[in-house]
Amino acid sequence: MNTFNINRRRFLQGTSASLALSAFGLPGLDFINPPRPYRVGLIGSGWYGKNDLFRLIQVAPVEVVALCDVDKNMLQGAAKLVSERQKSRKTPRLYGDYRKMLADNKLDIVLIGTPDHWHALQMIDAVKAGAHVYVQKPISVDVAEGEAMVAAARKYNRVVQVGTQRKSTPHLIDAKKNIVDAGLLGKVSHVEMCCYFHMRANGNPPVEPVPAFLDYEMWTGPAPLRPYDGLPHVRWWRTFNEYGNGIMGDMCVHMLDTVRWMLGLGWPKRITSTGGIFVQKDGKSNIPDTQSAIFEYDNLNCTWQHRSWGTPADPDYPWSFKLFGEKGTLAASTMRYDFYPEGKDKEKIHRDVVYEKEKYPEDVTEEKIELNAAPATRLHMLDFLAAIQNNSRPVADIQEGHISTASCILANLSMQVGRPLVYDPTKREVTGDREATALLQRPYRQPWEHPDPARV
């Protein structure tokens, strides 16, 4: 679809944001208006669905023609905001079933911001309908879903970008280029990743009637149907394994994906994890409040630790990764990075997150926006569009998203079965472990059918 051109040498010239980006030595981005705007649909109009959509509107000529959500109130609110933000000021068509949205509209791009248990079916159906897809991380709730998603993207020759936007975060691009790739670390032989945010939404809300504005059956879809105990939006659904993979699947996937990108790593050779609910035993939450994992590579262990209680090991880096090299250490997060070289006579290097409040003043007033992530998501969207233009793979291609997602899922399975796991992506099995192999695919609630990589 040769509709526009992106020039990575010219982006935001003449703005304070471009000065900030150029300070990191980053390539520029710009584009020429296409003959017609891209026709865009959003599935999941909640917090991060709108966040992604608004970043796309900011950087590309698009027409948001359709929105889908099972919560009518959320859907109406999103429609109003979109009509105010997009250039045409048109209100998108509204849907409660994404399948009808895909059938009614010839969409160029579909954004998926639904809970994790919906990502696979919606992404696969969207590429079958001819759309390129931006899907939020983690891409799937089980490993078999991820394999099917990769197979569908390749079969239908669609670009699928995963919302692991750390790869498009300005100061982290700088760290990769000027610290890692420049050899300042030397040989990296150990990595530590962590999250110590108190983000486990525990509690004991009572069971109550489902409100008329919410289609709870459709919200649940292929997942187990839990008794309704309040709106599941934002944090509540993430506290249950029925819909995702806990903090491991939510937060480790970002850090592991970034580390793999920085160091050029593929599938781990072996994955081991232990953990459980050690402290926050009251409440309904069934995801671990404490978990450790080791992702093994040749002469390199990448370790993960999360606690949703207590204090962080390093207050400056509560959600982060640290690369330990023979010549120094790189500590990095969504907010900053610090390089600590070996030797007393060498100076450390520090960089902070880039903001773009001057170029995009609407960022400042947007409800629940992640200001630190906005520039990264905009660059991620531009990379997505460049891949569509060039019929190439984006920086967060679905295959890379699958490796990072599946590795985190396998860590949870290792914790569940109590032993290390070795996954063979060619045979799509856990080597020598029938029990763990059987857990690579979760059962779907009828009438939904689990996607098969061989028959997408």
- Identify the residue whose tokens are 């999360």: 306
- CB within 8 Å of 3: residues ≥ 6 apart: 34, 35, 36, 38, 389
Same domain, 125 and 245: no
pLDDT at 34: 62
Q: Say if residue 6's pLDDT is above 70.
A: no
Same domain, 274 and 411: yes
Same domain, 100 and 74: yes
Instruction: Classify the phi-psi angles of 145: left when phi > 0, otherwise alpha if psi is within -120 to 50, otherwise beta.
Output: alpha
Same domain, 232 and 306: yes
Higher pLDDT, 96 or 5: 96
Q: Say if residue 9's pLDDT is above 80.
A: no
Q: Is residue 271 part of a domain?
A: yes
Same domain, 141 and 192: no
Q: Which domain holds residue 89?
A: 16-167+371-397
Same domain, 393 and 429: no
Which CATH number covers residue 176?
3.30.360.10
Q: Is residue 82 part of a domain?
A: yes
- CB within 8 Å of 446: residues ≥ 6 apart: none
Residue 110 pairs in a beta bridge with 41, 133
Same domain, 180 and 155: no
Same domain, 121 and 181: no
Amino acid type, 209: P
**Beta strands at 336-341 and 328-333: parallel, antiparallel or unpaired:** antiparallel
Q: Is residue 10 part of a domain?
A: no
Q: Is residue 6 part of a domain?
A: no
Tally the domains of the chain.
Answer: 2
- Identify the residue whose tokens are 């609407």: 362
Same domain, 231 and 346: yes
Same domain, 307 and 439: yes
pLDDT at 288: 98
Same domain, 186 and 245: yes
Sheet holding 188-195, edge to edge: 270-276, 290-297, 300-307, 188-195, 319-325, 328-333, 336-341, 349-352
Same domain, 48 and 147: yes
Amino acid type, 410: L
Q: Is residue 364 part of a domain?
A: no
pTM of the complete model:
0.94
Q: Is residue 97 part of a domain?
A: yes
Q: Are 289 and 239 in contact (CB under 8 A)?
A: no
- Identify the residue whose tokens are 């490796």: 403
Query: pLDDT tens-digit profile of 13-65?
Result: 323 333 334 444 443 344 535 678 999 999 999 999 999 999 999 999 999 99
Which CATH number covers residue 387?
3.40.50.720
Query: pLDDT tens-digit profile of 155-214?
Result: 999 999 999 999 999 999 999 999 999 999 999 999 999 999 999 999 999 999 999 999
